[in-house]
Amino acid sequence: MYEEVIEKYKNTVKGSENLHFNAKHYLTMHSHAVSLSNPTILELGVQSGNSTKLFLNALGDSQKGALVSVDIDNCSGVASSSKWTFIRSDSADVENIVTEAPILKNGIDILFIDSLHTTKHVYKELYGFFPYIKKGGVIFFDDIDSAPYCEGSELDSYYVELENRRILKFINCVFESNMQQLDLTIYRGWTGLGRLDKRSELYSELLPPQSLKIRKSKKFWKIKRSLKKRNLWRW
Ligand SMILES: C[S@@+](CC[C@H](N)C(=O)[O-])C[C@H]1O[C@@H](n2cnc3c(N)ncnc32)[C@H](O)[C@@H]1O
């Protein structure tokens, strides 16, 4: 099913152009989905159904596995499969989505976040669905690399550049305050792909994101250290 979508990415990944990364990121999600025997997948953001078809292909022809896809627009016509449930909803409305697709309460193996790319929205999606992710489950985030949106770059957009950078910073902060239950992988290139692996039990929750206290100037800290050594630092 939808073999042509996978073939397209397999051909593109061999190329040298930017789309190589895009194809690589899609194939990363595909091979993870293929490696699972009976996965429940939740996809936030459908549009023309590229990722929908990719996940349906990964589920294969057996009766096992389910894909639940959510979009604010009516995307019910982009794919067709007995394993597929489309829900028209705001993807941050977790309660409504879980009520419409109760299978999610048994645990999600893959969550793909690719709807409204703002930090506030991604926050609601991640914190809202995290308890439903199984131990060993994976959360993928699309659009976390701002490089192609920088001034003069291929997709030049100050808005997306700044928002993607904020989303990446947010994911890093979530990881830094939840290292006891998460692994983080960042795939660079094109618009990027983030991956959080959950190491804690189903229904465990995320602690709030917290920024580490980062130092900015080597010169300042060098002077501070030398003043402290001489007992001249009073602040
Ligand atoms: C980048 S596209 C999704 C692409 C798709 N995942 C793929 O890889 O082919 C983003 C989608 O998010 C949807 N969207 C935007 N805001 C949303 C929201 N608040 N709730 C749910 N979906 C939303 C848009 O309608 C659009 O179809």
Contact 132, 69 (CB under 8 A): no
Please indicate, yes or no, if residue 234 is contained in any of the structural domains. no
Query: What pLDDT sits at residue 193?
Result: 98
Task: Identify whether 122 is part of a domain.
Answer: yes
Residue whose pair of structure tokens reads 């007995």 in the numeric block? 82
Identify whether 235 is part of a domain: no
Which residue lies with its CA nearest to atom 11 of ligand 1? 45
**Model pLDDT, residue 159:** 96
Counting from 1 in the atom list of ligand 1, the atom nearest the Cα of 48 is 9
Q: How is residue 153 written in tokens?
A: 């770059």
Q: Is residue 168 part of a domain?
A: yes
Residue 157 lies in a domain: yes
SS3 content of the chain, % helix, strand, coil (to 5): 40, 20, 40
Number of helices (H), then strands (E), belonging to the chain: the values are 7, 7
DSSP letter (8 states) at residue 217: -
Task: For residue 62, give the CATH number of its domain.
Answer: 3.40.50.150
Q: Does a structural domain hold residue 22?
A: yes
The token pair at 47 is 């549009």
Q: Which atom of ligand 1 is nearest to the CA of 75?
A: 27
Domain count, the chain: 1
Query: H helices within the chain, ranges in order?
Result: 3-12, 19-34, 50-59, 94-100, 119-129, 158-177, 218-229
Q: Which amino acid is at 130?
A: F
Residues with CB under 6 A from ligand 1: 45-47, 50-51, 70-73, 90-91, 114-116
SS3 196: strand
| Other CB atoms within 10 Å distance of the CB of residue 197 | 16
pLDDT score, position 73? 98
Please report the atom of ligand 1 found closest to the CA of residue 47.
27
Return the pLDDT at 234: 81
CA dihedral 159, 165, 171, 177 (to 10 degrees): -120
Atom number, ligand 1, closest to the C-alpha of residue 90: 20
pLDDT at 16: 77
Tell whether 180 is covered by a domain: yes
Choose among 142, 144, 161: nearest CA to 153: 161
Nearest CA to ligand 1 atom 16: 116
To which H or E segment does residue 36 belong? Answer: none
The pLDDT of residue 211 is: 85
- For the chain, residues with pLDDT lower than 50 are none
Q: What is the pLDDT of residue 117?
A: 97
Residue found under tokens 């979530």: 174
pLDDT at 122: 98
pLDDT of residue 212: 87
Task: Show the domain range for 101.
Answer: 3-229
pLDDT at residue 15 in the model: 85
Our mutation pick for probing the ligand 1 site, out of 29, 67, 87, 115, counting the most ligand atoms within 8 A of Cβ, is 115
